[in-house]
Structure 1
Amino acid sequence: MPGTSPSAPSTTAPQGSTRELLRLAGPLMLSNLAYTGVGFTDTLLMGRLGVLEVGAVGFANICLLTLVLLFRGSLNTAATFVARALGAGDGAGVRRWASVFLGCALVGFPLALVGPWLLDGLLTLLRPDPSITAVTRTYALIRLWELPALLLGSAATAVMVGLGNTRTPMLLAWLVMAVNAALAVLFLFGFGWGVAGAAWASVIAVSLQGGLALLLLGRLHGPRFGRLRPARPTRAELGSLTRVSLPAGVTELAEVGAFTAFQGIISRLGPTELAASQIANQLGSLGFLPAFALAAATGSLLSRALGAGRPDLAARIGWRGTGLAAAFMGVLGLLFLALPHPLIGLFNRSPEVLSLGTRVLGVMAAYQILDGVAIVLGGALGGAGDTRFRLLVTLTGAWLVMVLGASWLAPRSGVTGAWGAALLFIAFAAVAYALRFASGRWRRARL
């Protein structure tokens, strides 16, 4: 809860004011900025190596997300369970749910072992250009080593967010950015390791973050709630995880999996088209900074309000967070329209990449406000535990509208046509989530 120490958060209902939302979301925005900075660093450095490396490393990151998001998305719901228990004044519930999610995060160890086979299967399905496949595989196989630390760190930071402590995850995110940038420069240009150097820099930085997240969770919140260590869920807890956490994880997997298939469609157009798309996507990720931060803050405060028996306050929090996200992302859309060439030129100044990237940014500018609405209302529904509706919207919109639409439009209208299909999906999701939230059905969702 903003205004309290991390080790002794308040158990009262949130006020739901704009100030409270921004105080909780502010550090998360800076956290997202740091994570985006990691992607920016890799993309900028790959731009010095060549157009092929820019597109392939971005494509590899999307493939890795596809492999891990079922688990990371499920673990992120720790914030919902912990915030609900906190709002109800249930300290034992906070400790138990934190321990259960840390136990579930141990799945990262077997996932890292089977990761190479999963990656090869994914690349076989996507069938990118052979030159892209070679670079993608080199980078991604190394990054698989970070998965255990990544998932444990994700669970620990989600628990902190549920407790209202967003400052510690922010500091850890900036540490990751600084370590990754320093090591990437050293490995690429000092040691001459190329793409592999960028991958090892990320592995070291993410592993450091995961270890520190576990340590700080215990140090900061252990004195208040007791020892927080991995625990096996009971049968009843497994039922809650299946009902709420699993659909959330499948939703993130389905959405990013759809985006991976979407990028696979673009990769078949050629390295230049993929590079332009990846650069524009890195710039578009700037819009996720306020949107995803506000989604996390909104979901946490909304869940806490429901735990305190205040559904009216929860609704007010949801709409207020949505309005703030739409305003932030609208400003970014204007920047995309006003400064496309300088923005694309930060990464690569090839005339072909500049031309294609400018057109993609034009499409992205058209959907920024809608994307803010979809992201925050989706987070609000998740905070209420209404995760199955989000899954239905994602399966319907991301795969039927975006992927199938892009597969038809890309051969006819190129990379711009493919992103037009993404615009249709985002509009569909924004309208669906707005109608669902307005209906109030999320108030009856059970954890």
Structure 2
Amino acid sequence: MNTQALPSGAQVAPPAGPAGVVAEPSAAPAAPAQPATLSGNPLLDAPIFPTLTRLAIPNTVALVMAVLVAIAETFYVGRLGTVPLAAMALVFPFVMLMGMLSNGAMGSGVSSAISRAFGSGDREKAAVLAVHAAAIGGGLGLIYTLVFVVGGATFYRALGGTGEVLAAATHYGQILFAGAVLVWLCNTLASVVRGTGNMRLPSIVLMAASAVQIVVGGVLALGLGPVPRWGMTGVAIGNIVAMALADLAFVAYLLWGQDKLRLPRGGVRLSWPMFRDILRVGAIACLSPLQTSLSALLFTGMVARLGPDALAGYGIGQRLEFLLIPIAFGIGMAAVPMVGMAMGAGQAARARRVAWTGAAMAAVLLGVIGVLVLIWPHLWSGIFTQSGAVQAVANQYLRTVGPGFALFGFGLVLYFSSLGAGPGHLMGVVLANTARLVFVAVGGWWLLHTGRGSAENLFVLALASMLVFGAATAVAVKLTPWRSPKR
């Protein structure tokens, strides 16, 4: 291996013996080569819990800031009336899908590939993978834009949108998803940086972007000061402006702001093996958020049958899950490079310990939130609406599903950890989400066709589906052997 691929001053460590004892050089015939690692790398050497916590905190803070964006946007739109609020509830599942695909699934595939390359000591490969990742993010972003700008109304209608609600959702979605390519690029470039073990920079950029989105979206939506009131159009434009600025920041950092991942200056010839290294994890991982979003779409469609008040209330309650996802994602995305580098360095046992530790952390944090909304749901629902009917539905949803938050977070972090482990470790966690989707589809069909499709019963179904997902994911990880790739 070329030592120029290592950080300045780093050396390739000799093979480690039991309990981390380094073997002395010997004139005897060399044993089979072990994966080269980067000496002094805390992701490989430091205690797991404090290291995972240190990595997770900036991720979680940045993602919670994204939740504040969702809260602010729901606040703006709630001031515009019930119809815009219901319209946003129709578009929201596809916004969640975009984030989960670009950040959680394909983004984790990017981080996994780059971190495994770093774990094996091959920084040149990591740099080439970064270029291929940007190509993947840009291409998928364009596809997402095309699908939802042209055909968005079809999806919103399928969820039960009609009349004014459908028209408002279609208009809002066309503007918002016109900037989908910017979102995909932003999350892809953030994942490239995370794959190197740097969680702070992506968090700073995304927090700044969230602040821009809140300010610009609020000013344009409500027409503050001399600015005319643009309503939901202003909310969408705020997102586009923020993502464009974030993209510029990530590009500038990767080109001129660091030397850990030295991008090729003369350009890179795109090759299938590099795409495959990312897609072997990212493409399969995309099945999971697709199934998650389909579950959410099924629920949204079922609740939409109960009327605009029920749909708006469900949308408010569902947004609390958008708070859960950043917490679990923050821990999960910190676990991806830790697991990936450990697997690349031949430390499969450490990788599994990272996975279970992170899952326990998420379960505790989300469990606390679940207890809070079980006791005081109005603290959340009262932020967004003064309508008694809408708030009653939101409170009912929160009280019902709150007990399932802990196991839901436990399963999410195990899912992310499996992505970090690389190809051959994903099928079980993907099938766990399939089990959840089947449970929702069959259970929802039975409730509707037996006349039991009340809000109360549908929300119990939502709780049960969370428990199915968390338990099935834990069983899948427990039964799947984790083996470092042969080199």
TM over 0.5: yes
TM-score, structure 2 length as denominator?
0.84
Aligned length: 440
Please state how far the C-alpha of 1:362 moved relative to its aligned partner: 0.9
Residue 300 of structure 1: aligned partner: 337
- Matched residue type, 2:474: A
Q: Give yes or no for contact 2:374–2:403 (8 Å, CA) kept in 1.
A: no
Instruction: Give the deviation of 1:14 after TM superposition.
Output: 4.2
Give, in angstroms, the shift of residue 376 of structure 1. 0.8
**Distance change in 2, residues 1:45/1:407 (3 Å):** farther
> What is the alpha-carbon distance in structure 2 between the residues aligned to residue 311 and residue 238 of structure 1?
24
Tell me how far 1:238 sits from its aligned partner: 3.9
Q: For the residues of structure 2 that align with 1:363 and 1:446, how far apart are their CA atoms?
A: 47
Correspondence for 2:155: 122
Q: What are the superposed Cα offsets for residues 14-39 of structure 1, whole Å, 9 maximum, x if unpaired? A: 43521101100000001111111111
Q: Does 1:435 align with 2:472?
A: no
2:244 alignment partner in structure 1: 207
Residues 125/403 of structure 1: CA separation in 2 closer, same or farther (3 Å cut): same
Note closer, same or farther for the CA distance 1:38–1:124 as it changes in structure 2 (3 Å cut): same
**Is the alpha carbon distance of 1:245 and 1:439 closer, same or farther for their aligned partners in structure 2, counting shifts above 3 Å?**
same
1:167-246 alignment runs, 5 A limit: 167-190=200-223, 191-222=228-259, 224-227=261-264, 231=268, 233-246=270-283
Q: Report the counterpart of residue 300 of structure 2 in structure 1.
A: 263
Following superposition, the deviation at residue 177 of structure 1 comes to 1.8
Going from structure 1 to structure 2, the CA distance change for 1:133 and 1:442 (only over 3 Å counts) comes to farther
Cα deviation, 1:152-198, whole Å, max 9, x if unaligned, reads: 11111001111111111111222122111111222122211111111
The structure-2 alpha-carbon separation of the partners of 1:88 and 1:281, relative to structure 1 and needing over 3 Å to count, comes to same
Distance change in 2, residues 1:21/1:413 (3 Å): same
Instruction: Look up the match of 1:25.
Output: 56
Aligned twin of 1:332: 369
Residues 38-77 of structure 1 show CA distances to partners (whole Å, capped at 9, x for unaligned) of 1111101111111222232132122244467555532431
Structure 1 gaps, min length 5: 1-6
Spell out the pairing of 1:274-293 with structure 2 (5 A cutoff). Answer: 274-293=311-330
Q: What is the match of residue 147 of structure 1?
A: 180
Query: What's the counterpart of residue 4 of structure 1?
Result: none
Residues 239-248 or 41-50, more deviating: 239-248
**Preserved CA contact (<8 Å) 2:149 2:178:** no
User: Which of 409, 418, 421 lines up with 2:447 in the alignment?
Assistant: 409
For 2:48, the aligned partner's letter is S
Q: 1:20 to 1:206 in 2, by over 3 A?
A: same
Report % sequence identity. Answer: 23
Show the counterpart of 1:78: 110
Cα distance in 2 for residues equivalent to 1:242 and 1:303: 15
In the alignment, what sits opposite 2:428? 389
Counterparts of 2:267 and 2:308, CA distance in 1: 44
CA 1:417/1:219 → structure 2, altered by over 3 Å: closer, same or farther? farther
CA contact (8 A) 2:126 2:261 kept: no
**Structure 1 residues 325-344: Cα deviation after superposition (integer angstroms, max 9, x where no partner):** 11111110111022112321
TM-score, length-scaled by structure 1: 0.91
Is the aligned partner of 1:376 residue 2:408?
Answer: no
Residues 8-19 of structure 1: matches in 2 within 5 Å? 12=41, 13-19=44-50
Q: Which residue of 1 aligns with 2:120?
A: 88
Measure the CA separation in 2 of the matches of 1:312 and 1:223.
27
Distance 1:324 1:230 in 2: 42
Query: Structure 1 CA distance, aligned partners of 2:345 and 2:472?
Result: 27
Residues 157 and 166 in structure 2, CA contact (< 8 A), matched pair in contact too: no
- Which position in structure 1 is the counterpart of 2:14? none
2:317–2:394 Cα contact (<8 Å) kept = yes
Contact 1:406 1:419 in 2 (8 A): no
**SS of match in other structure, 1:156:** helix
CA distance in 2, matches of 1:68, 1:334: 27
Equivalent-residue separation in structure 2 for 1:255 and 1:388 (angstroms): 15
Amino acid at match of 2:435: T
User: Are the equivalent residues in 1 in contact too, given 2:61–2:203 (CA < 8 A)?
Assistant: yes
Name the CA shift for 1:314/1:23 in 2 (closer, same or farther; >3 Å): same
Which structure carries more helix by proportion? 1
2:61 corresponds to 1:35: no
**Cα pair distance change 1:151/1:312, threshold 3 Å:** same
2: CA distance, partners of 1:51 / 1:230:
51
- The residue type equivalent to 1:252 in the other structure is P
The answer to whether 1:418 aligns with 2:451 is: no
Q: Which has the larger radius of gyration?
A: 2
Give yes or no for contact 2:347–2:484 (8 Å, CA) kept in 1. no
Distance (whole Å) between structure 1 residues aligned to residue 453 and residue 248 of structure 2 = 46
